[in-house]
Structure formats: structure tokens, C-alpha cells
Amino acid sequence: MVIAWTLATNPSDNYLECNGQSIDSTKYPKLYALMHNVPDYRGVFLRGLGGNSASLGKLQGDAIRNITGTMGGSASDKAGLWDYGTGVFYQFNLGRSSVEYSRRYYNHVSQGMGFDASHVVPVANENRPVNKAVRYFIKAK
């Protein structure tokens, strides 16, 4: 049995932390008969079997839902312009400049489109669900 433990102190000598450590075969013979090392659950989320989960005991890699948006605009014979962006796309201006076209100069506003996922989802340097940290222990005897 694996339990989630919310304290910094260990529950008792009857439990081993799930950190990949070797199991002492003389101290915990029944658990050693099942496995020689406890599972290492540090830094991973445990997920119930079924639905979109991986097979029992298999580590499933990270993924995110698709992030989408649209962009578009109008074009003229002088310059192409991005008029709008939705979702993760946004429009930005780089400033005014003179552009030569057919030996004439036109004032031109340089524009571009950017991509920023934070416009539609929370962002961090990792993919994660809402969570609280716990320590996992396995009942050893």
C-alpha cells in the first residue's frame, strides 16, 4: 500500500519512502519478495489506471492541450499588413519607416505578429496540474 504523507517526519519504521531505495530483505522480507527496490515517485504525479493513462506502472511523458489562434489581414500594392490576431497571436508595431515602392517613398508602419501562450493559458517552466507537494511511502511491514 502506498500512502501520501504531508509531514516532513516519517510516519513510522513500518513505511519506506518511495524514492527508489533498496529494500532490506532481512528487515522487510514480504516486501522484498514483491520488489527489490521501492518505486521512485519523487517529482511525478500518480494517476489512476484507465482513461488516457499509460499501462500500469509505466511512466507517461508530459503533454499539453493544443494552443490555437488565428491571424490575418489585408494587403495593398504598397505593403502587406497584419490587421488582427486572436488566441495566442497578437499584433505589434515596430515603428514608422520610409519604404521605397516603384521609385516613390511611402510612410510605412512596420507591423508583426507574435505568439504568446500566456494570452490563453497559465504558463510556467514546466507542464503541471494544480498540485500540492506530498511524500509517498509504501507500507513495508
**Domain locations along the chain:** 1-49+129-141, 71-119
Distance (Å, rounded) from C-alpha 43 to C-alpha 28?
A: 25
The residue with greater pLDDT, 2 or 68, is: 2
Please give the Cα distance from 62 to 64 (Å, whole number). 7
Percent of the chain with pLDDT over 90: 49
Q: Which residue has the higher pLDDT, 118 or 16?
A: 16
* DSSP assigned state of 23: P
Which fold does the domain 1-49+129-141 belong to in CATH?
A: 3.90.1340
User: Closest by alpha carbon to 87, among 119, 49, 109?
Assistant: 119
Phi, psi (degrees; rounded to nearest 5) at 118: -65, -10
Indicate the pLDDT class of residue 126, thresholds 50, 70 and 90. confident
Q: What is the pTM of this model?
A: 0.67
Cβ atoms of 92 and 112 closer than 8 Å: yes
Q: By C-alpha distance, which of 28, 36, 12, 19 is closest to 135? A: 19
C-alpha cell at 77: 500594392
Using the predicted structure, report yes or no on whether residue 30 has a pLDDT greater than 70.
yes
As a whole number, mean pLDDT of residues 21-39 equals 97
6: cell is 504531508
pLDDT tens across 31-85, in order?
999 999 999 999 999 999 999 999 999 999 988 888 888 887 766 555 556 677 8
